Amino acid sequence: MTKAAVIILAGTEGHENAGYLVNGLETAKEFAETEGDELELIFDGAGTEWIPELEDEDSDYHELYQAVRDDTSVCDFCAGAFGVEDAVADSGLVTLDDHDGHPSVRSLVADDYEIITF
C-alpha cells in the first residue's frame, strides 16, 4: 500500500502550468486507480485558481479531474487569497486549514504520505 499526497501549486497562467496540472491529475489518477493506495489531492497556493475551471463541464480537464475529485481538497487560506473562495464553496470540496489556515504538510509526512508537488 502506498500513500501519496499530490499537491497542485501551479496557477492557471501559461501553457507550462497547464502541463503541471495535467501531470498532477494524471499522477493522482494513477494512485486513485491502484487498489490499496491512499491518495490526497490538494490544491494549494495559486493552484486553487484551477477549481472554477475544473468544475466547469466544458473544461478540457474536467473529465480527468472528475476521476480524482473524491480525493480532492483545497487550501482554505489560499482559496481566499487567490479570489476563488466562492467557487470553492460552491464546489462543495473540503477546505483544509490545519496549520495557520493552510493544509498541514507535516501531518501528511507524519502519516507516511509521500509528498509530490506540481
Domain boundaries, the chain: 3-117
Helix ranges (H only) for the chain are 15-33, 50-55, 62-66, 76-81, 85-91, 105-110
pLDDT of residue 112: 98
Per-residue pLDDT tens over the stretch 42-82: 999 999 999 999 999 999 999 999 999 999 999 999 999 99
Instruction: Judge: domain 3-117, CATH 3.40.1260.10.
Output: yes
Cell numbers placing 39: 491518495
For residue range 2-30, list pLDDT tens digits in order.
Answer: 999 999 999 999 999 999 999 999 999 99
DSSP label of 26: H
| pLDDT score recorded for residue 13 | 97
Task: Give the model's confidence band at 113: pLDDT under 50 very low, under 70 low, under 90 confident, else very high.
Answer: very high
Q: What are phi and psi of 39, to 5 degrees?
A: -125, 135
